[in-house]
Amino acid sequence: MKFEGTDSYVATRDLTLAVNAAVALQRPLLIKGEPGTGKTLLAEEVARALNMPLFQWHVKSTTKAQQGLYEYDAVSRLRDSQLGDPRVEDISHYIMHGVLWQAFECEQPSVVLIDEIDKADIEFPNDLLRELDRMEFHCYELHRTIKAKHRPLIIITSNNEKELPDAFLRRCFFHYIKFPDKETMQRIVEVHFPILKHELLKEALEVFFDLREVPGLKKKPSTSELIDWLKLLLAEDIPPEVLRAKDAKDAIPPLHGALLKNEQDVHLFERLAFMSRRKS
């Protein structure tokens, strides 16, 4: 059982190695990288490629570690008791299973995605140490220990907004997805647009990488933005010559809204274009 990328996801050698190490040694895999380099997508593609069910847990600033295990819905139970509902006798009716519980009880090995773990409180990763290590936890209301039938493959993504505690990091494998080079990018685009005209792709990639080199951009365009932009180029049927026209008066690439996401960046880019035109 080896992950080698899929028909819609190009994985570099270092990434596949990291995933396979995590699968083989059954450790959680922590993924970091620039936004838009396919961190979240990785879990979906791994699940698809290895034919395992995927459980997703999207973390928000208010998410608590307990919510991934289970939640005791005390409010419903209180209401039921006041209405005389017979269900109130059995506490298990009010235990809501979280993502990890579902994955632990799954009959086959599964993939769990813990997305954007850095959004949560600083204590969040610490509260999951034992769960990730031993793959078990105790449900106090039911006096029962939930133990994983098969250790799931846990993929965790982070955007680096908070530092993660050392104890947590020690338990994970780590991979930093670096921004793809031109070659890899070409493969990624080919996967998404198999029929793209070769010339258009070449011009587009050039414009794209030039744009990334512009100093002082607030948000550099990333892979997912390139894909969106190509979609637009295709939909509008822009000929490759337009992209090549570097010295023409419209030095701003067409449909740049898909690549540059804030006003200041567009403005900066326009100014640079203006200056380079004046020089020439």
Partner 1 sequence: MLVDFFLHLKSRQLPVSTKELLALLEALEARLVTGSLDDFYLLSRTLLIKDEALYDRFDRAFGEYFKGIEALPGFDAMVPEEWLELAARKHLSEADRARLQKLGYEKVLEQLNERLAEQKERHAGGSKWIGTAGTSPFGHGGYNPEGVRIGGESVGNRTAIKVWDQREFRNLDDTVDLGVRNIKVALRRLRRFARKGAATELDLDGTIAGTARNGGWLDLQLRPERHNAIKVLLFLDVGGSMDDHIQACEELFSAARAEFKHLEHFYFHNCVYESVWKDNRRRHGEKLPTWDVIHTYGPDYKLIFVGDASMSPYEVGRPGGSVEHWNEEAGDIWLQRLVDAWPRAAWLNPLAENYWNYTPSIGMIRAVIGNDRMFPLTLDGLERAMRSLSK
Q: CA–CA separation, 230 vs 255, rounded Å?
A: 10
Compare residues 84 and 216 and give the one whose CB is closer to partner 1.
Answer: 216
Min separation Cβ 169 and partner 1, Å: 4
Q: Using CB atoms within 10 A of its CB, is residue 22 exposed (0-12), middle (13-18) or buried (19+)?
A: buried
Q: Which stretch binds partner 1 (CB under 8 A): 15-23, 192-200, 246-254, 270-278?
A: 15-23
Q: Which stretch binds partner 1 (CB under 8 A): 27-35, 50-58, 124-132, 143-151?
A: 27-35
Compare residues 24 and 245 and give the one whose CB is closer to partner 1.
Answer: 24
Per-position DSSP letters for 107-163, written without gaps between them: SS--EEEEE-GGGS-TTHHHHTHHHHHHSEEEETTTTEEEE-SSPPEEEEEE-SSSP
Which candidate, 22, 51, 19, places its Cα nearest to that of 177?
Answer: 19
Which candidate, 42, 25, 105, 23, places its Cα nearest to that of 69?
Answer: 105
Which candidate, 43, 65, 61, places its Cα nearest to that of 52?
Answer: 43
Q: CA–CA separation, 127 vs 146, rounded Å?
A: 16
Compare residues 30 and 259 and give the one whose CB is closer to partner 1.
Answer: 30
> Given candidates 169, 245, 248, 275, which one binds partner 1 under the rule CB under 8 A?
169
Compare residues 172 and 238 and give the one whose CB is closer to partner 1.
Answer: 172
Query: Hey, what long-range contacts does 75-84 have (CB within 8 A, 24 or more apart)?
Result: none
Binding to partner 1 by residue 25, rule CB under 8 A? yes
Binding to partner 1 by residue 21, rule CB under 8 A? yes
> Given candidates 48, 174, 231, 234, which one binds partner 1 under the rule CB under 8 A?
174
Helix (H, G, I), strand (E, B) or coil at 71: strand
Q: Which stretch binds partner 1 (CB under 8 A): 45-53, 160-168, 197-205, 264-272?
A: 160-168
Which pair of tokens denotes residue 85? Answer: 């509902």
Binding to partner 1 by residue 84, rule CB under 8 A? no
Compare residues 78 and 142 and give the one whose CB is closer to partner 1.
Answer: 78
List Cβ neighbours of 78 (8 Å cut-off, separation of 6 or more): none
Compare residues 162 and 231 and give the one whose CB is closer to partner 1.
Answer: 162
> Given candidates 4, 14, 123, 236, which one binds partner 1 under the rule CB under 8 A?
14
Which pair of tokens denotes residue 153? Answer: 């493959």
Binding to partner 1 by residue 30, rule CB under 8 A? yes
> Given candidates 160, 262, 264, 276, which one binds partner 1 under the rule CB under 8 A?
160
Return residues touching partner 1 (CB under 8 A): 13-14, 17-18, 20-21, 24-25, 27, 30, 32, 72, 74-75, 77-78, 160-162, 164, 166, 169-170, 172-176, 178, 215-216
